[in-house]
Each structure stands twice: as structure tokens, then as C-alpha cells.
Amino acid sequence: MKSRKNLLEQLKSLPHFSKNTVYQLGKQLGLKDGTVDTYISRFLKYKEIIWLNKGLYVSTDFFEKNKNDISYSFYLANVIRTPSYVSSWAALQYYNLATEAVHSITSVSPKVTRDFKTKAGNFSYQSFKKDLFSDFSLTKGKFDFYIASPSKALFDLLYFRTRQFRSVKPENIKALIEELRIDIDEMDKSEQKKFYTMIKKYSHE
């Protein structure tokens, strides 16, 4: 059982890990893959690790220590489905442009739309065609994550809410933003300009 405890201790320092990482650490401890599989099952059974996605996990210890750090939640959102970037309500709240309670972190991905409900939180991924998978950047800190610019976060939200701006005229966008209680006036002027440029381009398509 000592090797099981040693393996778990090594996993506790990782912000997330794959099954392959556990196999590699197991080999260093002289463990066969079959034994590692048994340990992973037990870790899950005793809630010592949390399932994130197929073959991806985080130790409960690491998660509990960092769960209140929004950058860690965004980091996990990026990791669970790649490539992706945080957008819509979660990003707007991060930029202090919305006060809407966020129950799920919404991201955009060129992959199919999918939701993940995990013990580490709820993560929603909306599918975008590749030419719209843009205007995001890497925010560096304790945990690095990709997030939409303020203008793109708002664009993405409205794009999905209006079903790609069907039957929505550009002149009605401002009213829609107010209805959603988003404070666009707090957005940097250059970002506002970028937002309206995107709206003009795509709301006519």
C-alpha cells in the first residue's frame, strides 16, 4: 500500500494529470500498468481524485486548495476540451462587465458542442466555425488560461443567444445588451468599436 500512497502524493502537486502521467509515475515506483489502473479505480472510489474528462483527472487535495481561484477554473476549462477559450458570461464577469451569476463556465471550441458536469464544476463548450475561433489571448498568472477579449466575449454570447443573429437588426443590438444587463459603457472604447465592427460584419450574413 506504500506505493499507492507514494503515487497519490506525487499526483497531489499537479494542477491536472492524464492517465499516461500516472503510468509514467507508476513505472518510477516499479508498478505495472495493470496495478496503476487498479489504483486509479480506488482513487476515484475513495474520492481522492476527480474525473475531468476521458483520461484526465485532478487530485481532490489540489482541487480543494485552488477551487476558489477563478484562474484555476478557467485553466481547467481550457484543459478539459482543447482547443478552447473561455467566453460569454464567464469572460464578461471576469472583465466586470456583467453581474449575472455564472453556474457553468462557457467556452468556445471548433469541436462539437458539449457539456461536462464534473465534481470540479460544470463546463459548457459551444461550437464555432474556425474563422470565428479568434480574438482570444493567453492570460498568464498562477494558472495560465485562454480567454476571449471583452468585445469577442460579448459577440460570442449574442451570437449563440440570437442563433447567429437571425432576425436581429444591428440597430437592435444595443437594446438587447441592456436587456441582458451588460454594462457595455464600461468596456474600453477600442473594444466597443471592435464589437460593433464584428456585429456589422456577421449580422448581415
Q: Give the three cell numbers for residue 8.
A: 497519490
Q: Give the three cell numbers for residue 104.
A: 457553468
The model's confidence at residue 204, banded by pLDDT at 50, 70 and 90, is low
Residue 170 has pLDDT above 80, yes or no: no
Residue 205 has pLDDT above 70, yes or no: no
Q: Hey, which CATH number is domain 2-64, 1.10.10.60, 1.10.287.130, 3.30.499.10, 1.10.10.10?
A: 1.10.10.10
Delimit the CATH 1.10.10.10 region(s) of the chain. 2-64
What pLDDT is attached to residue 84?
Answer: 98
Average pLDDT for residues 8-25, to the nearest whole number?
97
- What sign does the CA torsion over 53, 59, 63, 66 have? negative
Average pLDDT for residues 25-46, to the nearest whole number?
96
C-alpha span between 52 and 76 (Å, rounded): 8
Residue 100 has pLDDT above 80, yes or no: no
C-alpha span between 179 and 152 (Å, rounded): 19
Residue tagged 482570444 (cell numbers): 136
Q: Give the three cell numbers for residue 184.
A: 457595455
Residue 150 has pLDDT above 80, yes or no: yes
C-alpha span between 13 and 30 (Å, rounded): 20
CA R_g for the chain: 20
pLDDT in tens, 101-120: 888 999 999 999 999 999 99
